Structure 1
Amino acid sequence: MPAAPLRRTPSADDLIILLAVAREGRYTGAGNRLGLNHTTIARRIDALEQALGGRVLVRGAAGWVLTPLGEHALAAAEDVEQALRRLSPAEPTLAGVVRLSATDGFSGFIASPAMAALRARHPDVSLEIVAATRRAAQQRVGVDLEVVVGRPHVHRAEAIHLGDYVLGLYASRGLLARRGLPASVEALAGEPLVYFIESMLQVDALDAARRSTRGMIDAVSSTNVYVHVDATRAGAGFGLLPAFLADPHDDLVRLFPEEIEERLPYWLVCRPEALRQPTAVAFIAALRARMAEARDALLGRPPEVG
């Protein structure tokens, strides 16, 4: 009976390459991060698979995804990364890129100030944002963290409730001067609405938020919430807007706050390996701090005086 072939010890360099591919989702992205070409990345992953005796990556819908063997190897790769950090005490404590997918409003009002606060302490950390309003992806390829509206249903991922925000109905002072103040919520039937494009809206919580405006007629619809704010300020219609974006504008008036108030949750979804990245963990802490700081604005509460 022939002897089984001997397997060599996996290379620490190959493990670091696997770590980069797992975080980037693509060989080209990993190569850019490490300063290597696509061919070298592919060759080193092949060498790692030969050393381990099985596949560590398989192609997913949006890029490379870890196999169970790959996830096992990833834990060793993270240990190698931590050991290398300890050998370079002169380097900043945190460095690297955090990749985030989030809604437009969250990206501007929460994520950007959170990263500014983190960079004040760790200037070698940076943030890349993919602005999107969608359901949580089942495979987070190419991003470390994802923020969605509504409780996500995901597998092989961690979901964390960050906090809530409020949608209210707003109109510009100019529009109210022309059309008059509606006497009641029922009087809004047939009036122009500024909100998301209904046929393209993929988020159940945002779709359900239309319930108080069902009798209204779409006037300006967009996938971008900042367009909603600008269109409402221009007098294109009554806008169903996040309070934290609308309240700072003196030319907007909130209507029927006791009757039209939709409270929606922000949820953070992340791959388990992201929670083992010190930079990602620090950014999550910065997001939580910013959410706490902005709580009153998110919920449409006036700032306390004195």
Structure 2
Amino acid sequence: MDAPARRACKDAHMFPIGRSLPSADDLLVLLAVGRSGRFTTAADSLGVNHTTVSRRIASLERALGGRVLVKTSGGWELTALGRRALDAAEHVDGVVRGLVDPDGAPLGGVVRISATDGFSAYIAAPAAVEVRRRHPAVSVELIAATRRASESRSGMDIEVVVGQPSVHRAEAIRLADYCLGLYATRDYLGRHGTPADRTELEAHPLVYFVDSMLRVDDLDLAHTGAGSGVRLPAMAGSVSSTNVFVHVEATRAHAGIGLLPCFMADRHDDLVRVLPDEVTVTLAYWLVARSDTLRRPEVAAVVDAIRAQALARADELRGRAGAAR
């Protein structure tokens, strides 16, 4: 018996007696579920039905002697055993892809991103286009949402949130700082007067998020000033929305003074910065993803493109273009 055969026999005896070796097919099914967080999505990507996915996962758990997935409110989350199995699944997937294209299979698959409205439009979307230009087989799904980083991250490969997140079993990467400032139209200021200082802001309505539905601490602090040192006086609400594009357009429609991202407001010549020397709130975008997700080549390509786009737009994000105008 040659050395590889002897080694294989030795390794086989190390596996618990009475338990079958995990199937490579079962591992690949786990890989699909781990990436999407959902059986139905994994089934669609594999071209099988939901029942087959469930049966494969059960088979893998019998072989490994423990649970690899647990159900959460956001989908299916990997257990500690599941994360170890996912590492093996990624190796299997890499070997299979290498057989198809020994020189390196082209990147493919779907990368799903959750990000705020403004970031999605001005940073993530151009980054996705650049990834698609380099890797046409990669699809990028952008889900616009302003929220905290989720605990499970099931169903999302990448999350971009405002403010440093507290995360477990995931990596948090600071992308860029950006600023909020007060803006109004020339027409509005001509009819209602331009505030000379912060105290005069009380006479003006504010365009901002719906207070009762705001779930991002840093954005709430930006309004109250508790975290930024720039405390705004109590301002009556005007048009409020969960969507920052609505803030911009309502301000452009003369609804009041909007607390807007500078990189969005400075694009519009009809908006004037109000009290720029007194009211500038600096916040930060953070990217959150699981370590195993970041190891996927297509995800890494998207993350690199997002970071490059954020770096290229750093001055704009910090509002320097508007200050110089």
Structure 1 stretch displaced more, 85-94 or 9-18: 85-94
One-letter amino acid of the counterpart of residue 176, structure 1: L
Which sections of structure 2, spanning at least 5 residues, go unmatched? 1-15, 226-230
Q: Secondary structure in 1 aligned to 2:196?
A: coil
Q: Is the CA contact 1:92–1:124 (under 8 Å) kept in the aligned structure 2? A: no
1:85 partnered with 2:85:
no
59-68 or 14-23: which moved more? 59-68
Alignment of 1:1-306 (within 5 A): 6-89=18-101, 93-210=106-223, 211=225, 212-302=231-321
Counterpart of 1:49, as a letter, is E
Cα distance in 1 for residues equivalent to 2:166 and 2:29: 31
Distance, in Å, in 2 between the alignment partners of 1:47 and 1:123 is: 35
The one-letter code of the counterpart of 1:9 is: L
Q: Please report how far the alpha carbon of residue 91 of structure 1 lies from its aligned counterpart in structure 2 after TM superposition.
A: 7.7
TM-score (norm 1): 0.95
One-letter amino acid of the structure 2 residue matched with residue 218 of structure 1: G
Output the CA distance in 2 between the equivalents of 1:303 and 1:216: 24
For the aligned residue pairs, the C-alpha RMSD in angstroms reads: 1.6
Q: What is the identity, as a one-letter code, of the residue corresponding to 2:153?
A: R
Q: Once the two structures are superposed, what CA deviation does each residue of 1:257-281 show, in whole Å capped at 9, x if it has no partner? A: 1111000010111111111101111
* Contact 1:57/1:65, CA 8 A, preserved across alignment: yes
**How many residues get paired?**
302
SS at match of 1:281: helix
CA distance in 2, matches of 1:289, 1:59: 35
Q: Equivalents in 2 of 1:92, 1:15: separation in Å?
A: 20
Is the Cα–Cα contact under 8 Å of residues 206 and 259 in structure 2 kept in the other structure? yes
Change (3 A) 1:76 1:153: same
Measure, in 1, the Cα distance between the counterparts of 2:129 and 2:37: 26
Q: Give the whole-Å Cα distance in 1 for the aligned partners of 2:46 and 2:104.
A: 17
Preserved contact between residue 199 and residue 233 of structure 2 (Cα < 8 Å): no
> Structure 1 residues 248-257 or 211-220, which shifts more?
211-220
Distance (Å, rounded) in 1 between the aligned partners of 2:100 and 2:189: 63
Please give the per-residue CA displacement for 1:121-155, whole angstroms capped at 9, x wherever unaligned: 11111111221111111110100111110010111
SS for the counterpart of 1:194 is strand
More divergent stretch after superposition (193-202 vs 87-96): 87-96
Letter in 1 for 2:107: L
Q: Distance in 2 between matches of 1:91 and 1:79?
A: 14
What TM-score comes out, normalization by structure 2 length? Answer: 0.90
Equivalent pair of 2:110/2:138 in contact (CA under 8 Å): yes
CA contact (8 A) 1:196 1:223 kept: yes
Alpha-carbon shift at residue 170 of structure 1 (Å): 0.2
1:80 alignment partner, SS class: helix
Q: Distance in 1 between matches of 2:105 and 2:86?
A: 24
Aligned residue type for 1:132? A
C-alpha distance in 1 between matches for 2:323 and 2:144? 32
Q: Percent same amino acid at aligned positions?
A: 56
In the alignment, the residues of structure 2 paired with residue 184 and residue 201 of structure 1 have an alpha-carbon distance, to the nearest angstrom, of: 27
* CA apart distance, 1:113: 0.4
Name the CA distance, whole Å, in 1 between partners of 2:197 and 2:70.
57
- TM superposition shift of 1:100: 0.8
Runs of 4+ with deviation above 3 angstroms:
none
1:183 to partner: Cα distance: 2.0
Residue 7 of structure 2 is matched in structure 1 by: none
- What one-letter code is carried by the residue in structure 1 that aligns with 2:174? H
C-alpha distance in structure 2 between counterparts of 1:154 and 1:190, whole Å: 41
SS in structure 1 of the partner of residue 305 of structure 2: helix
